[in-house]
Structure 1
Amino acid sequence: MKKLLSTLFFGLTLASIFFASCNKDNFDYAAWEREQLEKQRIQDSINNKRVEEQFPIIKKYVADNQLQNVQYIDSLGLAYQLLATGDEASYSYSFNSNGAIIAPDATVKYIGKLVPSGTIFQQTEEGKTATLNLSQVITAWQIAFLPKSISYNGKDIPTGGLTSKGLKKGSKIRIITPSPWAYGDTGKQGSSSSDVSIPAKSPLDFTIEVVDIKNK
């Protein structure tokens, strides 16, 4: 999943690396490709292990907090509640000339909590919003925002999104994700004195309200 989303938003990344590398003398593309595939295999194995470890924790968290109408995505080990669908006509995803999805800017209000403690580690201030480009957010947010598929050249291209329409202006979602789709095995230090650090291998609980979504 993480690889798929990265490919969609950054379709030129590997190609750029390849062509840049080809300018070097005696570049062994086959060896480089094998190395990348092995790195991905190792990361996929780690991700699968973390999902298996953390999915039961997420299910217990949902039960302990008595959350209703929760949907589970077993393959990703996450849970979500779609709290408001929003205005479906407010935004449509498109592709650039290279076939990569154009990542919009999303203006949001959000709360992030640690699982299973429920401790708030970060949130937008009362009456304020945050604007983020979707190419620069964690995978869990990309999964939440994207629709299940996007039409391209007359074909529906699967994106790995949660809902059929994706998040639009006025949408609200709660997503409880295992660490592979958040901050992985490294965690994250708080960005300000008011933020709580995210421990390594920590599942997270986000509530995201979309105030606006548009291209730059």
Structure 2
Amino acid sequence: MNNLSNFFFLFVLATITITSCSKADDNNNDDWAEEQRRINRARIEALLKEQASELKTFAETNFGEDAQFDDSTGIWFKVHEPGEEGSYTRWLVPGSMGGLALSRPTVDVKYVGKLMRNGEIFDQTSEDDPKDNTRSFQLGGVIPAWDLAFYPKEVRLNGNDYQIGGLTEKGLQKGAIIEFVAPSPYCYDNKEQKDKDGEVTIPSDSPLHFYVEVVDIRDKK
């Protein structure tokens, strides 16, 4: 089975393990950077292990017998509606340097985002405001948990199977509804999020709970 040179997994890993560094002596910089990556990987692995039991408890309590678990990420999810099969299939596109790359479709969604630990809503679309009834995002520009939710596990193209690494077999389709809880490294990690008034809406190291309805998924024009 092909794996796009682990493109997706490398993308996610890079997204959740970015560390800042200052310039150092050329002879020492690579070693210093690798040590920082090692420390950060260890930190993330510890967080995933630490949060595993509370995510499991939440999923079993709230998702019931339909709860599904992705053991490579620690994400729990429930597919409420599968959506229109085949409404989006162009997950792989020609790469700029040859070969294949993941597409970055635009998704139109309705959603609610909550802090898993206390159920507090930190963001949501509005049923009452036509201007905020849906929101649009381009995949690859969202938190890793959302990318994982949208992309499929694998794609068959021209007789070859390509392992992608998403949560569901065929990826989210138009009309799909998914609910998931993700450990903090796949959300905002150790970076707290604030609103326009400077109030913290998402504390650092917070696992998050999302309910997402896919209104449309399309290639960006």
TM-score category of the 2 structures, normalised to the smaller one: 0.7 to 0.9
The answer as to 2:87 corresponding to 1:90 is yes
The answer to which of 83-92 and 150-159 deviates more is 150-159
Q: Distance in 2 between matches of 1:8 and 1:100?
A: 11
The answer as to 2:134 corresponding to 1:133 is no
CA distance 1:53–1:136, change in 2 (3 Å): same
The answer as to 2:58 corresponding to 1:61 is yes
Q: Distance in 1 between matches of 2:37 and 2:160?
A: 28
**CA offsets 1:85-129 (integer angstroms, 9 cap, x no match):** 111211111222332212100000000010111111100111510
CA distance 1:66–1:76, change in 2 (3 Å): closer
The AA in structure 2 aligned to 1:77 is: G
Q: Distance in 2 between matches of 1:212 and 1:63?
A: 29
What pairs up with 1:199-210 in 2 under 5 angstroms?
199-210=203-214
Give the secondary-structure state (helix, strand or coil) at the position aligned to 2:52. helix
Q: Which runs of 5+ in 1 are unaligned?
A: 10-26
Q: Distance in 1 between matches of 2:123 and 2:160?
A: 39
Identity over aligned pairs, percent: 36
Q: Distance in 1 between matches of 2:164 and 2:35?
A: 24
**CA offsets 1:173-202 (integer angstroms, 9 cap, x no match):** 001000000000112113x46x96100000
Q: Give 1:4 shift.
A: 4.8
The AA in structure 2 aligned to 1:201 is: D
> Could you tell me which residue of structure 2 aligns to residue 198 of structure 1?
202
Q: Give 1:42 shift.
A: 2.6
The AA in structure 2 aligned to 1:96 is: P
The AA in structure 1 aligned to 2:139 is: L
Give the secondary-structure state (helix, strand or coil) at the position aligned to 2:188. coil
> Could you tell me which residue of structure 2 aligns to residue 104 of structure 1?
105
Q: Decide whether the 8 Å contact of 2:192 with 2:200 is kept in 1.
A: no
Q: Distance in 1 between matches of 2:29 and 2:156?
A: 33
Structure that is richer in strand per residue: 2
The AA in structure 1 aligned to 2:116 is: V
> Could you tell me which residue of structure 2 aligns to residue 19 of structure 1?
none
What pairs up with 1:1-216 in 2 under 5 angstroms?
4-5=7-8, 7=10, 37-65=34-62, 67-92=64-89, 93-97=91-95, 98=97, 99-126=100-127, 127=130, 128-152=133-157, 154-190=159-195, 192=196, 197-216=201-220
The AA in structure 2 aligned to 1:131 is: S
Query: How many corresponding residue pairs?
Result: 195
Q: Give 1:84 shift.
A: 0.7
Q: Decide whether the 8 Å contact of 2:143 with 2:188 is kept in 1.
A: yes
Q: Distance in 2 between matches of 1:154 and 1:176?
A: 34
Give the secondary-structure state (helix, strand or coil) at the position aligned to 2:92. coil
Q: Distance in 2 between matches of 1:62 and 1:94?
A: 31
Q: Distance in 2 between matches of 1:72 and 1:46?
A: 22
Structure 1 runs, 4 residues or longer, greater than 3 Å off: 6-9, 30-40, 63-68, 151-154
Q: Give 1:143 shift.
A: 0.6
**TM-score, scaled to structure 2:** 0.78
CA distance 1:204–1:72, change in 2 (3 Å): same
Q: Which runs of 5+ in 2 are unaligned?
A: 1-5, 13-24
